[in-house]
Amino acid sequence: MADILSNASGLSSSVAGIWFVFWAQRRTYELDYDLDRTMRTVRWSAVLAGFAAALLQGHRFVAVRIIGGIILLAFLCWPNFSYHVVGFWRRYFARPEV
C-alpha cells in the first residue's frame, strides 16, 4: 500500500507540473471550448481511468501504464480533446432523431 501511495504522489506532482504549463497557455490565449456536461464527464472519467492505469504495478503492465499516462495527460492537459471525442461520437455514432 505504501508503494501505491508513493507512486500516486509522484505521479500527481509530475502531472500537476505538466498540467500547469498547459493551463497557463490555454488560459492566456483563451483556447478552450465550453464543455457541456457529457464532455466534462468524459474528460474526468478518462483522467481517472488513465491515472488508475498509470498506477498499476508490475512489469507486465508497462504498456498499460504508458497508455494510461498518455490518456491521463491528453484529457487533463487538453480539455478540448473531450470536446472533439464527444463531437465525433455524436456525429458518427449517435442515433438519428425520429
Per domain, the residue ranges of the chain are 2-92
pLDDT on residue 5: 76
Per-residue pLDDT of the chain (98 residues; tens, 9 = 90+): 777 777 888 888 888 899 999 999 999 999 999 999 999 999 999 999 999 999 998 899 999 999 999 999 999 999 999 999 999 999 998 766 65
Interior angle at CA 10, CA 65 and CA 70, nearest 5: 30
- Residues 6, 8, 11, 13: what is their CA dihedral angle, to the nearest 10 degrees? -80
pLDDT on residue 98: 55
User: Distances from the Cα of 8 to the Cαs of 12, 18, 51, 98, in angstroms?
Assistant: 6, 15, 8, 47
Q: With residue 59 as reference, give the H or E element that holds it.
A: none
